[in-house]
Structure 1
Amino acid sequence: MNKSSKYLLFISFMYGILINISNPAYPEYLRFLEIDDKFIGWFLATASIGLLLMSPLWGALGDILDRNKVIGYSFIGFAIGQIIFGLASNPVLMLLASMISGLSIAGFLVNLYSYINDSYKDEHFRNKMLSYAVSLYLVGGALAYLGGGFLTEMITNLRYIFIGQGFFVLLFSAYIIFEKTDLEDIDHHLTRSSFVSKLAKIKTLPWVPIYTITLTFFISFSHNNVKRFFDYYIIHEGYSSIDLGFNIFTVGIVSLLANLLIAPFFLKRMHNFRFLQIQFFFAVIFLYLTITSNNLMSGLYTYYLLYTIMLAVYEPTAISFMSENKTVPQGILVGVRQSSVGLGTTLGFIIGGYLYEYDRISVFYLSIFNFILVFIAFSVLIMIKRKDVQRYRKNYLEERK
């Protein structure tokens, strides 16, 4: 593994820690401010708007500039947003600060995925890198939830968590910007003169990437609702921030193992579409069993962990499929895909916030319904692309002989 690969994995891990360290404090902080449940969705959504609005732009900037510096700039913007959030007392200003954070940090994953897709030509190694990167930012996030849970219980004035987070992210962004690792893509490094013409090629995308990007909307709508509203649900059910932190830490470790062991194993043996179909079939079952469990914690540490395994391997699977399209530069293509993530997440949080106030468990039932639609959609796609799916399996079996 070369220097660039190790560096990518390191910043993925740090991204998971630095971005998530304040998450356990959000439910307690908003409750302290006496903000209604229906507005929880708006606070979550403002950060997701960044993915919707800025992902293609961040991706395009990465195509033009060194992705390393673009990633550094995105961290700076996030840090500024978090510091403002911690200093603000006005809910409107807090919403604005969340939006600044979201608009900024949208640049990280877009450029991380784009660089991996463009620069690792061996499909098996590329899938491994995607799995490793996702795994490390998930385990970083798990550690952040664990530490953040303890911080939330220990610190009386929770605004210091957000302010401190901002300053640590600023320090890390300085490290990234002055780090000499070159993250310029091998194939799709654009010149400024070709930017507009390359951007226009989005219109030439085949229908299959458009179809899967559309499904990304429903997946993000549902999965991000499940992840974030469980944070609030656990607290509102009377458990502590430490309980929340331990649960998310466990989820992160399980996600790590899923990405290291399960994703590479199945991606090598079956077509992406088949693997995605299987993931959402079981996601529906395990999520339903989680929310209907008689004991919340037992459900979270059994069925929800199985649900996590299914969804943990979704991201590397979907991003790997994006790499197969060479019509549009990866920065722009992945940016469009991340915009779909942002749109789904934003609307999901807004709608989820109102549902959560009406009936807290209903937000999870809506996610189950959407996952059923996604499973059906991938089943239809497999029927249409049956020959490709069968050929992929046949080629694998022939290689084994």
Structure 2
Amino acid sequence: MNKKIIYMLIFSAFAFFATNFQHVVTPSYLNTIGLKESHYGFLFAFMALGMSISSPISGRIGDKYGTRLTIFFGFIGYAISQFLFGTFTNIYALVFVRLTAGLSISASSTNMISYLTKVSTPERRAKVMSYYVAGILLFVSVAYKFGGELGIFLPARTVIYLHALTCLIIAFISLLLPNLKGNSQVIEKVKFKEVINGKLLTLLFVNLLAVMAFTSSVRFMEVYVINIGFTTQTLGNYVFISGLVTIIFTSLILPFISSRVKEPIIMKLLLLIGGLALWSTFNLFDNILIGLYSTFILFNMVKSGYDPMHNSYISKIDEDNQGQVIGISQSFKALGMVLGLIIGGYLYAYDKELVFNASAVLILVGFIILQLIKGDKNESKIFGAPNIK
């Protein structure tokens, strides 16, 4: 495997550890400073809004000037924003630093994905993206376990400060990555009409629906578990175990499948299974832990598998401007996070389980829309695909 791919896979795994171990204590932290449950989704929605704004811009910058410095400055900005998030208690100040955190981290995450698509061949790209997600899942699982244990012994604010320091260290480590030279011929502005066709737009819209559902379900599952009386340690243990199971899927099963089955077919299957699994978790089990450790783990497997298949598929649309294509996709993804968190916050405040049932419906709607995308003969054998080119 290309050394640049290996270096980025290792770096991204540690980077996602650094950016995730604080999540398990964040609900407790927001409770201690007196924020309402609806504010939880509102704050994270502003971070997603920042990501939506930044993604296509940072993707273009990475294409034109190189990826390494874009990743570096992204992590610097994110570390500063996270430090301020642990310092401020005023809701307006917190909203501002959430926005800057999104603007910053998107520059890093977009160019990390773009980096991998640029140094991998189209034939191996789905497998590389599967390994990317598998590494992230492993280290995110460890991060949640680590954060859950820290939450027992340290104040939540201290954990957030430690998280900011770790992200600062990651920023300087990024300078050790082999750089990819920019392309001076990259267009100065993102011209959506020149990049997006009907097929890509449909894929982006389906991804937006899926991300809305994935984000609201996973984020409010964390809040739900704490609100019904479980500890951060219980949450950390669950995420750790769920992550390990999902890692097996993304590192072993998904690469095997993706080398034999085309991405669109996999995407359709994942959405169908994911929607049904999510609905089952909150409707078929009296004991929520049984649901979490069975069908919700299956849902997490689907969530982790859909993103690499989507990224691999759309990256083949424009090989010369992959950063822009990925950036536009990340912008739609971030918009889905914004909508999912804002709408999910109000649904959760109204009825804690409604947010999960609504998300299941969105995923199944996405599955239905994918049937409209015209594919090749192999795709039509399974689901059919009538008309959108």
CA distance in 2, matches of 1:336, 1:370: 21
Q: 2:325 matched to 1:333?
A: yes
CA distance in 2, matches of 1:204, 1:58: 16
Query: Do 2:63 and 2:186's aligned partners in 1 also have CA atoms closer than 8 Å?
Result: no
CA apart distance, 1:372? 1.3
Query: Do 1:201 and 1:328's aligned partners in 2 also have CA atoms closer than 8 Å?
Result: no
CA distance in 2, matches of 1:181, 1:103: 24
CA distance in 1, matches of 2:276, 2:177: 47
CA distance in 2, matches of 1:25, 1:140: 17
Q: 2:39 matched to 1:39?
A: yes
233-242 vs 264-273, greater mean Cα deviation: 264-273
Out of 148, 160, 174, which is 1:176 matched to?
174
Q: Secondary structure at the match of 1:313?
A: helix
Query: Do 1:201 and 1:327's aligned partners in 2 also have CA atoms closer than 8 Å?
Result: no
Out of 304, 307, 318, which is 1:312 matched to?
304
Query: Do 1:280 and 1:310's aligned partners in 2 also have CA atoms closer than 8 Å?
Result: yes
Aligned residue identity for 1:183: L
1:220–1:328 Cα change, 3 Å: farther
Describe the superposition over 1:106-161 as per-residue Cα deviations: whole angstroms up to 9, x where unpaired: 122211221222221251x3222111111111111111110101111211x32111
The aligned counterpart of 1:399 is none
CA distance in 1, matches of 2:364, 2:250: 23
Query: Do 1:4 and 1:183's aligned partners in 2 also have CA atoms closer than 8 Å?
Result: no
CA distance in 2, matches of 1:165, 1:74: 15
Out of 194, 205, 209, which is 1:214 matched to?
205
CA apart distance, 1:216? 1.2
Aligned residue identity for 2:296: Y
Aligned 1:104-115 pairs, distance under 5 A: 104-115=104-115
Aligned residue identity for 1:81: S
Query: Do 1:263 and 1:317's aligned partners in 2 also have CA atoms closer than 8 Å?
Result: no
CA apart distance, 1:271? 2.2
CA distance in 1, matches of 2:6, 2:291: 36
CA apart distance, 1:6? 1.9
CA apart distance, 1:73? 0.9
Aligned 1:230-245 pairs, distance under 5 A: 230-245=221-236
Describe the superposition over 1:239-271 as per-residue Cα deviations: whole angstroms up to 9, x where unpaired: 000001011111211221111122222222222
CA distance in 1, matches of 2:310, 2:223: 28
CA apart distance, 1:390? 5.3
CA apart distance, 1:386? 4.8
CA distance in 2, matches of 1:303, 1:180: 39
Q: Secondary structure at the match of 1:284?
A: helix
CA apart distance, 1:194? 4.1
Aligned 1:62-81 pairs, distance under 5 A: 62-81=62-81
Aligned residue identity for 2:170: F
Aligned residue identity for 1:223: F
Q: 2:247 matched to 1:248?
A: no
Q: CA-atom RMSD, angstroms?
A: 1.9
5+ residue gaps, structure 2 = 383-389
> When you count helix as a share of all residues, which structure comes out higher?
1
The aligned counterpart of 1:11 is 11
Q: Where has structure 1 moved over 3 Å in runs of 4 or more?
A: none
CA distance in 2, matches of 1:109, 1:6: 17
1:205–1:94 Cα change, 3 Å: closer
Q: TM-score, normalised by structure 1?
A: 0.91
CA distance in 1, matches of 2:35, 2:126: 42
1:204–1:313 Cα change, 3 Å: closer
